[in-house]
Structure 1
Amino acid sequence: MLAASTVAIAASVPAFANADVADQPQAASVERGADDIVVTARRKEESIQSVPVAVQAFSSETLIKLNVHDTKDLQRLVPGVVFNGSGSELNTTFTIRGQGRAVVGTISPSVQSYVNEVALPNWGAVIPTYDVANVQVLKGPQGTLFGRNTTGGAVLVYSQAPQYDFGGYASATLGDYSWHEVEGAINAPLVQEKVALRVAGQYRKRDGYIRAGVLGQPDGQGLNSRAFRVSLLVEPVDGVKNTTVYDYFWSDTAEVQTPTELSNGVTLDTLPFPPAAIPFFKPIIQGILDRQKAVGPYVYFSDLVQRAHAQIQGLTNTTELNLGDFNVKNIFGYRKSRISNISNTTASEYNFTGCYLCAHADDQISDELQVSTSALQDTMSILLGGFYLRNKPKGVNALGLAFTTAKNLTIDEMRAGGVMMDQQDDSSTKAIFLSIGQKLDSVLPGLKLNLSGRYTWDQSSTCADGRAGTATPYSSFESCIASPTSSTPKSKFKKFTWSAGLDYQATPDLFFYGVARTGYRAGGANTPILGASLQPYQTFAPQTVTDFEIGVKADYSIAGARARTNISAYASKYKSLQLSASGIPPGIDGDTDPLNDPTFASLNLNVGSAVARGVEIDGFITPIENLRLSYAGSYFYGKIDYAPIGIGAIDTSNPRFNYAPSTSVTLAADYSVPDVLGGDLNFNVNWYRISNFRVDRAQNAGYNLLNASVELGNIAGSGLTVQLFGQNLTNRAYYLNPNSTGNFPGYQTWTAGAPRMYGVRATYRFGGN
């Protein structure tokens, strides 16, 4: 596929066999216009068509047209990316090329999210969708140039920066389920060409689309959030630029799950209960599943009032200095997360498992320093830097869990028969990195060699203590380690990773690249101190990957139609692959002590080696004036070679990666009619298809989503734009966010995706915006 497409593209693009790329006539280049998106995949601004990384980027205008309203909507824009959040979107993670992060425990991410180049913490990784400049999704191992070391990729979000023109916007949305939303921004130059201020905010409210089947319970999966951001730009003298951003986010919702079917490998005769109790529980489990099947995925049953509450703050300061031949950039970040959840993970009135207190309170600071320069008559570019991140608990970090077979318990009753598992994690990562780019025009005009290396040090200290559920959770890391019953497993890891590649700008519109690289994800410790039979799984080792990727990016014309095709193919080999084993039955260690059972019935394990390979493609064609047809697709193949695992919580009969669909596709059509009521009338239709994929012992069926919008922009030149949009127009039932997918209590629970919804959005832009 890659070879055939490359030949076709090359045949469509004018050849410049002997000309220096820099000297080629501008007229030979296909006009890119608004499609020439600037990305920062290598810590500098570059055209998306000339960066040797598989990356997709979206401007704020594109996000609006494609109905991106929250974090999980990004999944359908980028094939091969899967969003998951363990029932709560406050615990967000993306999986790219089969690499993500366990949603329970202290495991490091394989895909790191960033806002304004600051790494977000695991809990509280809320990606803003208001007043956004652009979103970039980088695929493959990252880290030699970008914040944390990862094995899967990175998601970069940039908010709109202050400008020296007065302006702003105000937007209001009304839709189904009493959906009402307001957002806006105002930009003001305080001192022309010296100081500018931008203030933006958002308020969102919508009723839940999963109705409560128990009287008195709230409807689930609604919206109830507010956020604001203040950005200050100061340029006191030439060559000095400082940007400070403060952001605040508050949310309070009911996030719920529904049972779907028995977990893989489980039958009603092999339920994970004592053999004598199975005849009693068979009709209960069957009744739970039958009732849910009868009412569908948009009704849930729970005796526990569920809640997801978050208060998140952040401060970012970016300083840029131009010192002649040297450019210095420092990025400081501070993140404060305070999150408290109540979750009925078995989604029924029976409290087989339940979290009556899931609390996370962490402060994170980070700093990255970069120094860049050039050498050898500007044929060599050099980037040297260092990175530091520290995540420290600053309050209650605990899980109050109930493992019972009783029905309709109050929280006090659950607490009386449950366990309190404190888990305070103090962790840090440090790194130094160097990148060199050398032009090889003397060998072949347009050829460039890229080399980079990074040395990373990771360490963590986790205080864990399992106690009776009536115990008060510890309020700090210090109070936890002072307890005589607590344990504090520590871990340290270090690793050198590298990247080496060649890229070739054959013509202004045809770019080839190839890269070999390594990636690394730190190991860690499971909690609490496990029972004797589980002691071999107390810690888990780092995961590494060696990756090879080749790609071509081309802009060209076919019979006068402007087109773009970007293709990448990759192969990856993993060692000490990390997986999360969930749904581990209480008492599996045989000692009848619930205080040393795995936290939240999960363990993070090294399960063996693995290989993965795939192809990704994206592009567009404009067959007629004002019509743009866009496409993107991915194919993934992965196989796990399991090492002997002495615990039956991993389904070793299934060699597939978690959250890794074999195929996913996005198609979109965008048609504009100019000069309608003095503005532009735009029609957009986009379709997303994902194949089935594995999640531990569960299988998520593939599904299609169809969305559309009609927009009349800048009516009569007034700055007013009105958009009518529809989401999931075919009303397809689909599932997100698995929660209890192991063999306890024997069935899977998922969160249903949003049903068909309609809405209208009006936006007024003024001034320099």
Structure 2
Amino acid sequence: MLSGCATLALHGTTAFAQTGNADTKTHASADQAAENLGVQDIVVTARRKEEALSRVPIAVSAFSSETLAKKSITSMDQLTQSTPGLIFGKSGGTTNPQIVIRGQTRANVGDAAQPVLTYFADVPLPYFASILPVYDLASVQVLKGPQGTLFGRNSTSGAVLVYPNAPTYTWGGYLMGGYGNYDNREVEGALNLPIMEDHIALRIAGRRQIRDGYTKVTLPDGAVQDRDNLNDYYYRASLLVEPFDGLKNVTVFDSVKWNRNGDGTIFGNTYPTGTARLFPAAFDCGTSASCDIDLAAARQKTLGVRRGFGDFPIYTNTLVTGLSNTTTLNLGNITLKNILGQRLSKYRNLTDTDGTEMLLTSVNTDNNIHQFSEEFQVQGDFFDNRVHAIAGIFYLKVHPGRPQFQTYGAFQRPGVSLPTSISAYRRSTSKSAFGQVTLDVTSKLKIDLGIRYNKDKLTACSAGYQINAPYLPDSSEVLTEDGCYNGQNITKTQFGVTSTSIVKGTVASAASSATTWNIGVNYQVTPELFVYATARKGYRAGGVNTPVLGGLFLPYQSYGPETVRDYEAGAKWKFNVGGVPGNVNFDIFTGKYKNSQRGINGLAANQDGDGDPLTDPALSTLIVNAGTARVRGFDFDATVEPTRGLTLTGFVSYNAEEYLDNGLAGTPFINTSAFPLNPKEVAFQYAPEWTFGGSMTAEKEVETLGTLALSVDAYHSSRVYFTNDKNNYILSQKPYTTVNGRLDVREILGSKIDLGFYVRNIFKKVYKTGASNSAISSGYDSVFYAEPRMYGAQIRINF
């Protein structure tokens, strides 16, 4: 999408991202006319160099730190309500964010490549636990469409670039504290320290937030657990070193730590026997909601969406750390850049998937992922700056940091079933070489030509085996990596009888490669009007399903790469009519996805036909190549300043998604609960057809008080599906609208103190954000709900 709501608060601000050649202000001359119009631009790095947003020939939405603050955005998922065409889905829990752009999302199980990648300080984040807090940031940039040339780990529908505030040679910082409902306590701050003038500077920032949960869950012993709470720690340290003119090195260390109780799952609906429901008597007693699934569903209807029941106390423990090091050497018209990244994601959670006290289904996950990445770039301007070129190489490696497991169980009662543990050890590499050239044919006409070669490989050893407990397994029940390859004795106690079994994993691998490209042309029609068109090929690597599969599912142990051909055209117009400045941005696109990767959820037990539950797909879900899909649509946004201090914005995003053929016809996946037979009935999960947004910001200086600023924004979404089936309205969210507001008093009485009051979800709209269990074949569903109305006050001291 284009600039979207990004310019909401940018009429007096220009924000610079941390990347690019700082000595090459490519936007300066192009923006002179815009400045004459009274409109200033935000600078983005969507093409790995600094450019004015209004002159970038791709769809981009960008947010400065000021914009994020004015919208009270403290988490990445809140960007949904301010960005055309960007959706943050919630499937399986908060630690598994699903970013949706142009109808594409990642499966909620497995480690399939993201169609939308998140980058922090130019380093791609791992697929799991891609968690980034919003504090002390320079900018957030949302790129739409395939990123097939310039960005490290390929994706087929977009990228989100997050840049922290970089150290400077000026002493300063800020300290913010806040309090809100649900006993929300937050403190945040940053300190910028110039250590050696023009040579060394350090910036330290952090955030701490504690908040009670808004979902109260009663456990079998009568205790009540607070779910959807916050108990988060964030900190970051950035070091700038410039030993001599032209050489710049920036190192950023960041840490995210969550000690939360977990997400509040609300029991939804039950399904009749005709949908393959077949409950043991232990869950169909007919006497109490504690042992009858239908009675539990009826009870939940009386409780509402903020109260529920659970099996046991759950938790979400997450530690994500990262180190990025960017070295830039300016050699005149040539710039060398090296970007080194290390990411470590540790998370362990116990999830109550059903939202009852009956132990219907639960999942215990323990993952530890190490990722290393290295990227080297060469950029240059040649032939009197008429040719700009960039070339580079990229390498990424992911490997497990310690024994990992995922334990899940269905209908876990003695004599009914035992939970299954899946140990999977995945190692993957991604290698690529890329280059792109921008040719200034005339002073107004430019052509972009880019190409990238990608090579990916994934190897996994995995095994499924039954254990005694649905959570907190004994160390003797965790399959080690060596044991997976060589056969390991697993000691387990089944109904009081201790036994030992030999477990040996199966090794599966997937290798894929592709050449992707970008061809674009843009033309500066007038100083106010910029138009462009581009054609791109994108690629998403193939992967492996775990554990070892059996029977009819054996051919689907791995899945192939996904490719997309995308075409986009757009226009960006700045205007000043009668002294009223503003801008209008528009793009239209179409993309065809071949071998579309799709998570097939809701596979019935023993649907593979081999009679062995240990070879059934993890959580009844597989990732498969589901055929050819097409996504078409447009994005429109406008910003206008009718009077000084008043800014109005609005956006519309339309996405029409459909399957042109069904690549699963004749496979065991075709049924109403897994994947519809008719491709026209396939729903694109977490991808609404229409989204609308608008905002109003008014600022006024009040003598002796300070600057008053009022901001109100609204967001509307059409129906959102949580399953593959368009006919399943039950597991979907009907159209909804939310409204947020904020009032600030800045520089109170001429001081450096700001006071702010915020309200999110002013009208207490109740709506679902995702499904915890969307497998209809299990006989029930369960969902997550969005936050209720949140409000509070913040005080900030700038120094």
Q: How does 1:204-603 map to 2 (within 5 A)?
A: 204-214=209-219, 215-259=222-266, 261-262=268-269, 266-273=271-278, 284-355=292-363, 357-404=364-411, 406=413, 417-441=418-442, 445-470=443-468, 472=476, 474=478, 477-483=481-487, 485-603=504-622
Map of 1:100 onto structure 2: 105
Aligned 8 A contact 2:267 2:356 in 1: no
Map of 1:10 onto structure 2: none
User: 1:140 and 1:591, CA in 2 relative to 1: closer, same or farther beyond 3 A?
Assistant: same
Aligned 8 A contact 1:259 1:289 in 2: no
Residue type of the alignment partner of 1:673 = K
Q: Residue deviations 1:591-622, cap 9 Å, x none?
A: 33221111122111111111110010122111
Q: Residue deviations 1:119-142, cap 9 Å, x none?
A: 011112111211111111111111
Aligned 8 A contact 2:275 2:776 in 1: no
Map of 1:610 onto structure 2: 629
Map of 2:716 onto structure 1: 689
Aligned 8 A contact 2:541 2:562 in 1: yes
Residue type of the alignment partner of 2:315 = R
Q: Residue deviations 1:636-673, cap 9 Å, x none?
A: 10111322032232234423322210100111000001
Q: CA deviation at 1:334?
A: 0.3
Q: Distance in 1 between matches of 2:706 and 2:90?
A: 41
Aligned 8 A contact 2:193 2:201 in 1: yes
Correspondence for 2:779 among 723, 746, 749 = 746
Q: Distance in 2 between matches of 1:677 and 1:427?
A: 61
Residue type of the alignment partner of 2:361 = T
Q: CA deviation at 1:67?
A: 1.6
Q: Distance in 2 between matches of 1:78 and 1:25?
A: 24
Q: CA deviation at 1:275?
A: 10
Q: CA deviation at 1:563?
A: 1.1
Map of 2:37 onto structure 1: 31
Q: Distance in 1 between matches of 2:687 and 2:783?
A: 17
Q: Distance in 2 between matches of 1:272 and 1:405?
A: 16
Residue type of the alignment partner of 1:667 = G
Aligned 8 A contact 1:269 1:278 in 2: no
Aligned 8 A contact 2:84 2:691 in 1: yes
Q: Distance in 2 between matches of 1:387 and 1:399?
A: 31
Q: CA deviation at 1:31?
A: 3.4
Q: Distance in 1 between matches of 2:633 and 2:118?
A: 23
Q: CA deviation at 1:716?
A: 2.4
Aligned: 1:680 with 2:707? yes
Correspondence for 1:137 among 142, 145, 152 = 142
Aligned 8 A contact 1:359 1:399 in 2: yes
Correspondence for 1:663 among 667, 682, 690 = 690
Q: CA deviation at 1:259?
A: 4.2
Q: Distance in 1 between matches of 2:599 and 2:194?
A: 50
Q: Distance in 2 between matches of 1:418 and 1:278?
A: 16
Gaps of at least 5 residues in structure 2 are: 3-26, 469-473, 488-502, 725-730
User: 1:86 and 1:625, CA in 2 relative to 1: closer, same or farther beyond 3 A?
Assistant: same
Q: Distance in 1 between matches of 2:406 and 2:296?
A: 25
Q: Distance in 2 between matches of 1:267 and 1:552?
A: 52
For the residue of structure 2 that corresponds to 1:238, the secondary structure is coil
Residue type of the alignment partner of 1:145 = L
Structure 1 segments of 4+ aligned residues over 6 angstroms from their partners = 21-25, 274-283
Q: CA deviation at 1:88?
A: 2.3
For the residue of structure 2 that corresponds to 1:198, the secondary structure is strand
For the residue of structure 1 that corresponds to 2:773, the secondary structure is coil
User: 1:613 and 1:260, CA in 2 relative to 1: closer, same or farther beyond 3 A?
Assistant: farther
Aligned 8 A contact 2:228 2:264 in 1: no
Q: CA deviation at 1:73?
A: 0.6
Residue type of the alignment partner of 1:459 = K
Aligned: 1:719 with 2:752? yes
Q: CA deviation at 1:739?
A: 2.1
Q: How does 1:140-219 map to 2 (within 5 A)?
A: 140-214=145-219, 215-219=222-226
Aligned: 1:701 with 2:734? yes
Map of 2:69 onto structure 1: 64
Aligned 8 A contact 1:321 1:329 in 2: yes
User: 1:389 and 1:631, CA in 2 relative to 1: closer, same or farther beyond 3 A?
Assistant: same
Residue type of the alignment partner of 1:656 = A
Aligned 8 A contact 1:403 1:586 in 2: no
Aligned 8 A contact 1:87 1:750 in 2: no
For the residue of structure 2 that corresponds to 1:623, the secondary structure is strand
Aligned: 1:651 with 2:658? no
Residue type of the alignment partner of 1:702 = P
For the residue of structure 1 that corresponds to 2:226, the secondary structure is coil
Map of 2:662 onto structure 1: 642
Q: Distance in 2 between matches of 1:628 and 1:603?
A: 48
Q: CA deviation at 1:565?
A: 0.7
Map of 1:710 onto structure 2: 743
Q: Residue deviations 1:325-368, cap 9 Å, x none?
A: 3101111110111100000111211222111x211101001111
For the residue of structure 1 that corresponds to 2:37, the secondary structure is coil
Aligned 8 A contact 1:30 1:556 in 2: no
Q: CA deviation at 1:25?
A: 11
Q: Residue deviations 1:575-597, cap 9 Å, x none?
A: 11111112323222233322111
Q: Distance in 2 between matches of 1:533 and 1:370?
A: 47
Q: What's the TM-score, normalizing by structure 1?
A: 0.92
For the residue of structure 1 that corresponds to 2:299, the secondary structure is helix
Residue type of the alignment partner of 2:426 = D
Q: CA deviation at 1:479?
A: 4.2
For the residue of structure 1 that corresponds to 2:505, the secondary structure is coil
Q: CA deviation at 1:376?
A: 2.7
User: 1:395 and 1:240, CA in 2 relative to 1: closer, same or farther beyond 3 A?
Assistant: same
Residue type of the alignment partner of 1:140 = G
For the residue of structure 1 that corresponds to 2:109, the secondary structure is coil
Q: CA deviation at 1:757?
A: 1.5
Q: CA deviation at 1:281?
A: 8.3
Q: CA deviation at 1:631?
A: 1.2
Q: Distance in 1 between matches of 2:33 and 2:283?
A: 76
Q: Residue deviations 1:283-312, cap 9 Å, x none?
A: 933223222222111112111211110111
Q: Distance in 2 between matches of 1:604 and 1:446?
A: 46
Q: Distance in 2 between matches of 1:85 and 1:121?
A: 17
Q: Distance in 1 between matches of 2:205 and 2:320?
A: 16
Aligned 8 A contact 1:634 1:663 in 2: yes
Q: Distance in 2 between matches of 1:281 and 1:541?
A: 47
Q: What's the TM-score, normalizing by structure 2?
A: 0.88
For the residue of structure 1 that corresponds to 2:596, the secondary structure is strand
Map of 1:760 onto structure 2: 793
Q: Distance in 1 between matches of 2:286 and 2:563?
A: 43
User: 1:29 and 1:757, CA in 2 relative to 1: closer, same or farther beyond 3 A?
Assistant: closer
Q: Residue deviations 1:713-768, cap 9 Å, x none?
A: 111231111000001010000111322112232332221110011100111111xx
Q: Distance in 2 between matches of 1:185 and 1:23?
A: 34
